[in-house]
Chains A and B, each alone.
Chain A
Amino acid sequence: MSNRRFDNRVWRWLASVYEVCRREFSLVFHDEGVIIFFLVLCAVYPVMYSLVYNTEVARDVPVVVVDDDRSASTREFARALDATSELCVTHYVANMGEARRLMNEHACCAVLHFPAGYDRDLMRGEQATVEVFCDMGLVLRYKQVLTAVTGVQQDFNTRIQKEMLSVVPLSMPQNTISNEQVALGNTAMGLASAVLPAILVLVLQQSMLLGICMLHGGSRERRLVNRGNDPLEVPAGVIASILGKSLCYLMIYIVPTVYVLHFVPIFFDFPQNGRLLHVLLLSFPFLLATSFMGQALKVFVNDRESTFIAIVFTSVVFVFLSGISWPRYAMSALWLAVGNVVPSTWAVEAYIAIQSNGATLAQQSHAYLMLWVLCGVMFVFAYLVERFLCRRRYRRMRHYAKRDAQALLREEYRHQAVDITEDRPLDTP
């Protein structure tokens, strides 16, 4: 008998989870704003970001040459620089003053200076010097200048060494030890392939947070005009309500996840060394933790539009916490700890390892485990928020509304600091 009663309760609980989930589906798909966040944002953002960075590197950075030597060898060096894909010699000028003026006018990004006596030193078998002055406004340009100049220098050195060795009777090999660089992960060594994997993960997280908060804002607005009750809410326990909603978000996110994490890298030729199965297994705890996090963060959102000001700027913070720009090992303990509680940090780390470096999920077990730990932590937060903040607020709202139907709206207007005159009807939102 007691067993059957227990069974009944379990069934009823499961039914309420299902009901919450079904209602949430209908809420999502009847809300244009949420659809924009959940689906349109996921579809459009990655593409726009990829297009912005798709050129990957800077080419033909403008350079000015100041040639105080005016010899055949300086002209040859400058020509060789011009021929690289990185640089482009735009002007030859008489002195450093002129070069400086061009730089101030933003006509060039670097100045190449051959001091007088360059050719003479070279012919004497002494070391000749080339000075390069580079604007540091954009590090990527500096990197291109450095790469091109070093490359040309090494080519010239090798050739000159050969000539010297043919004169001097030496039997020395060119190189005693060669060296080679092998790029792992991002073999194009491009900016897009480095940054975009992190952005892709972040897009999923942020869009979900925005959507969840907007749904909550909508629900609260309905409560305001309905005496503290949300007519579209399904009566359910705290846990059932949280789980039901998360279930709904996870199901909706199946398509965006596969699209963003699997197909976008294919479209734009980003690293794609991971197996889809591992990516999907990884994204499950990630999205679950995110959905709980959204239900915890919703406490900061009172109406639909404050979603924007509460959530949007965190994207930038989360990107940097994930360590894609400034590496995590170099962060101070404080920021490391803050990063640890954001799901995207671990998801970005594991996703990059899987997708760029071809790791298996087993090799990223630490990040994976941390995501599950975060699921637990975020669930507790969401529970506390729903149970002790939101539901208490709703009770208070109903209590006030019982006494005066207009009290809630009046309070809301006062809170929004909207001045209302007495003869205005209070039914606008």
Chain B
Amino acid sequence: MKRGFVQLVRRPVFYIIMIVAPLLCSFFMLDLMRQGVVQRVPVGIVDLDGSSISRSIERNLGAMQNVSITHHYRGYQEAISAVQRDEVLGFIYLPAGLEHKALSGQDPTVSYYINYAYFTPASTQYKGFKTITLLANGAIAKTTLEATGLLTEGGVSAMLQPILTRVHGLNNPWTNYSFYLNLSFVPCLLALFILLMTSFSIGTELKYGTCREWIASAGGSIEFAVAGKLFPQTLIFTSTGWMIQLLMFRVYGLPLNGNVWNMIVAMPLLVLACQAFALTMMCITPNFRYGTTLSTLLGVMSFSFCGFSLPSDSMYAWVHALGNVMPVRYYFLLSIDQALNGIPLYYSRYYYAALVAFTLLPWCLLWRLKRECINPVYVP
């Protein structure tokens, strides 16, 4: 234990990796998406009609939060070229004869072109364009219907939209991007740091051939040696984790609808589980580099295969399975339950249990690490 502390105190790089870098990265992620919702996507408009209807569509678009009309183009070619130049992220095309056709019932088509290479602003644009075109359509139809005098005002809206669906996004009705993304990505970053740090500090002993002394200092017991070495890191990482939670839930206002203590307790469990995971990797692989590489690879890939954006059950089965062996996945699932949705702890019991199970896993494999420590082989 003393050895672990001494090592920590002496190396400034350890402070950076355990405190400064995780906090900075979390701050980066949270501050980047501070606005929460992508608004005012720069779009262009091609108005070949120049009629009162086309101008009213343009005015309505301009009044929307979703998009902001930054450029006017004279034709399709010009607008497409602007998309290719990244000047705008999409445009709406109002064809010539729009008003004439609309009023004479010839069913003209308004098209909107959206650059889906940028996914998030594309969804925002879609919402804006779709709403505006439907509204324009509805306004004309409403005027026409009311002019017949056959229907009351309520009857007209029932005529235009007989079934109304209301979709409620539970606990995040604004579809706040930061709420959704940072709940998973920030802990995953922390997990990556823990994986790197754990494998690095054990690997250092292997590399410098000092592992025999390391074990000797723990009275010949690998269990004590590992625990003593990693426990100081556990403490530091846990407090960093709590600071990150403070940053997330208090400073940047991510939803915390459950009991605060459920999340506070989950943090040391995550830290321990990640340390144990890295330790297991070091036990399984024969040397420092493979152990570190494996931990790093899985740590970086876990941003994708843990199902933070694409749901796990939509992935190939083997990817899904791979996601399930990462501790941070369980932290992510329990934080959805406990922070976002605030449901009773009972329903997240398996996730907590999984984190504990990860912590227990390497104790069965430590004999391999011990054998390695007694006969260290450093492969550059």
A and B interact physically: yes
Chain A residues in the interface with B (C-beta under 8 A) = 31-33, 36, 48-49, 51-59, 61, 77, 104-106, 122, 125-143, 145-146, 149-150, 153, 156-157, 160-161, 164, 168, 170, 172-187, 189, 191, 193-195, 197, 218, 271, 304-306, 308-309, 312-313, 315-317, 320, 323-327, 329-332, 335, 349, 352-353, 356-360, 363-364, 367, 413-421, 428-429
**What are 10 sample pairs from A and B whose C-beta atoms fall under 8 A apart?**
A49-B304, A58-B313, A138-B180, A175-B107, A177-B110, A182-B113, A186-B117, A357-B117, A418-B208, A428-B378
Within 8 A of A (CB), among B99-136: 102-103, 105, 107-123, 126, 129-130, 133-134, 136
Q: Which of A131, A189, A429 contacts B116 (CB 8 A)?
A: A189
Contact A176 B28 (CB under 8 A): no
Which single member of B6, B29, B34 contacts A320 (CB below 8 Å)?
B29
Q: Contact between B110 and A138 (Cβ–Cβ < 8 Å)?
A: no
- Interface contact A313-B378, CB-CB below 8 Å: no
Complex-state Cα separation, A428 to B204, whole angstroms: 12
Q: Check A129 against B164 for contact (C-beta < 8 Å).
A: yes
Q: Let me know if B204 and A418 touch, CB within 8 A.
A: yes
Instruction: Report Cα–Cα, A179/B301, bound state, in Å.
Output: 40
Determine the distance from Cα of A330 to Cα of B40 in the docked complex, in whole angstroms: 9
Distance between A337 CB and nearest chain B CB, rounded to angstroms: 13
Compute how far the CA of A241 lies from the CA of B107 in the bound complex, rounded to whole angstroms.
69
Closest residue of chain B to A118 (Cβ to Cβ) is: B163
Contact with A along B154-171 (1 / 0, CB 8 A): 110111111111111111
B158 touches A326 (CB 8 A): no
Query: Does any Cβ of A come within 8 Å of B368's Cβ?
Result: no
**B111–A179 contact, CB under 8 A?**
yes
Cβ-based interface call for B253 (8 A): no
Q: How far is the CA of A182 from the CA of B166 in the complex (A)?
A: 26
Report if B303 contacts A (CB, 8 A): yes
Q: Which residues of chain A come closer than 8 Å to B113, judged between CB atoms? A: 182, 184
Complex interface bits, B12-23 against A, C-beta within 8 A gives 1, otherwise 0: 010001000100
Asked if residues A313 and B192 are in contact (CB atoms below 8 Å), the reply is: yes
Say whether A182 contacts B111, CB under 8 Å: yes
Residue of B nearest to A303 (CB): B207
For residue B172, CB closer than 8 A to chain A, the reply is yes
Could you say which of A132, A179, A313, A414 contacts B137, with CB atoms under 8 Å apart? A179
| Contact across chains for A170 and B150 when beta carbons are under 8 A apart | yes
Contact B109 A51 (CB under 8 A): no
Near A by CB (< 8 A), chain B positions 63-104 give: 80-81, 83-86, 89-90, 98, 102-103
Q: When the two chains form the complex, which single residue of B148, B150, B204, B343 contacts A104, counting CB atoms closer than 8 Å? A: B343
Name the contact of B189 in the complex, choosing from A36, A172, A176, A313 (C-beta under 8 A). A313
By the criterion CB–CB under 8 Å, are B137 and A353 in contact?
no
Given A127-B157, A421-B213, A428-B378, do A177 and B192 touch, yes or no (CB 8 Å)?
A: no
**Total of A-B residue pairs, C-beta within 8 Å:** 357
Q: Given A172-B141, A176-B141 in contact, is the A308-B200 Cβ separation under 8 Å?
A: yes
Given contacts A52-B304, A317-B25, A429-B378, contact A179 B310 (CB under 8 A): no
| Set of chain B residues within 8 Å of A317, measured between Cβ atoms | 25, 28
| Candidates B166, B197, B210; contact of A309 at CB < 8 Å | B197
Beyond A156-B162, A197-B117, A429-B208, 17 additional contacts (C-beta under 8 Å) are: A32-B379, A52-B315, A55-B314, A58-B313, A106-B347, A153-B165, A176-B141, A177-B102, A177-B110, A177-B140, A181-B114, A182-B111, A193-B117, A305-B289, A308-B296, A356-B117, A428-B378
Q: How far is the CA of A363 from the CA of B98 in the complex (A)?
A: 31
Cα A61 to Cα B8 with chains together (Å): 47
Please tell me if the beta carbons of A178 and B109 are within 8 angstroms of each other in the complex: yes
Contacting residue for B11 out of A51, A176, A349, A416, CB 8 A: A416
| Alpha-carbon gap, A178 to B115, bound state (A) | 21
B25–A182 touching, CB < 8 Å = no
Chain B interface, DSSP helix/strand/loop, else mixed: helix
Asked whether, in the complex, the Cβ of B301 is within 8 Å of the Cβ of A309, the reply is: no
Min CB distance A171 to B, Å, is 8
Cβ contact of A127, chosen from B83, B164, B296, cutoff 8 A: B164
- Distance in angstroms between the alpha carbons of A132 and B167 in the assembled complex: 5
- Are A125 and B118 interface neighbours, CB within 8 A? no
Question: B residues within 8 A CB of A416?
Answer: 7, 11, 204, 208
Which B residues are within 8 Å of any A CB, using their own CB?
3, 6-11, 13, 17, 21, 25, 28-29, 31-35, 38-42, 80-81, 83-86, 89-90, 98, 102-103, 105, 107-123, 126, 129-130, 133-134, 136-137, 140-141, 144-145, 148, 150-151, 154-155, 157-172, 175, 177, 179-181, 185, 189, 192-193, 196-197, 200, 203-205, 207-210, 213, 217, 288-289, 292-293, 296, 299-301, 303-305, 307-311, 313-316, 319, 336-337, 340-341, 343-344, 347, 378-380
When the two chains form their complex, are residues B311 and A58 in contact, meaning their CB atoms are under 8 A apart?
A: yes
Rounded to whole angstroms, the CA-CA distance of A338 and B170 in the bound complex is 35
Closest to B24 in A: A317
Of the residues B137, B310, B340, contact of A175 by C-beta under 8 Å: B137
Tell which of A139, A349, A357 touches B83, judged by Cβ atoms closer than 8 Å.
Answer: A357
Assuming the contacts A136-B180, A185-B117, A320-B28, asked whether A126 and B210 have C-beta atoms less than 8 A apart, the reply is no
Q: Which residues of B contact A33 (CB under 8 A)?
A: 289, 380
Contact present for A419 and B32 (CB under 8 Å): no
Closest to B379 in A: A32
Closest residue of B by beta carbon distance from A172: B144
Q: How far is the CB of A138 from chain B (nearest CB, A)?
A: 5
Q: Which residue of B lies closest to A334 (CB)?
A: B31
Contact of B133 among A106, A179, A330 (CB under 8 A): A179
**Which residues of chain A come closer than 8 Å to B307, judged between CB atoms?**
138
Asked whether A138 and B116 contact (CB < 8 A) given A128-B162, A326-B38, the answer is no
- Chain A's nearest CB lies how many Å from the CB of B263? 15
Q: Which of A132, A331, A349, A419 touches B86 (beta carbons < 8 Å)?
A: A349
Residues of A contacting B126 with CB < 8 Å? 181
